[in-house]
Amino acid sequence: KIYLMGDLSQEVASLLLELEFPESKIEVVDNIEKTINQEKQNPYQNYFLSNVTILNQVRSAILK
């Protein structure tokens, strides 16, 4: 699953859909910290891709 965060998340979601990425695998996130905390509990490897506008928020949430 890919979690989209930040100012352009809706635009990126639209682009992914145009590229036939499965809609069920795309989630636009409003609460960054909550989503990251949930994903930290999963046993699999997580990757978070952030744009510059929210990089510090994502980094802080990961490091908590």
pLDDT at 4 over 80: yes
- Alpha-carbon span 47 to 20, nearest angstrom: 21
Question: Which pair of structure tokens corresponds to residue 47?
Answer: 């990757």
Q: Where are the beta strands (DSSP E) in 1-64?
A: 2-4, 26-28
Residue linked to tokens 């994502």:
58
- State the pLDDT at residue 43: 86
pLDDT digits (tens, 9 = 90+) for 31-53: 888 888 888 888 888 776 666 77
pLDDT at 54 over 80: no
pLDDT digits (tens, 9 = 90+) for 5-33: 888 889 999 999 999 999 998 989 888 88
pTM recorded for the entire structure: 0.69
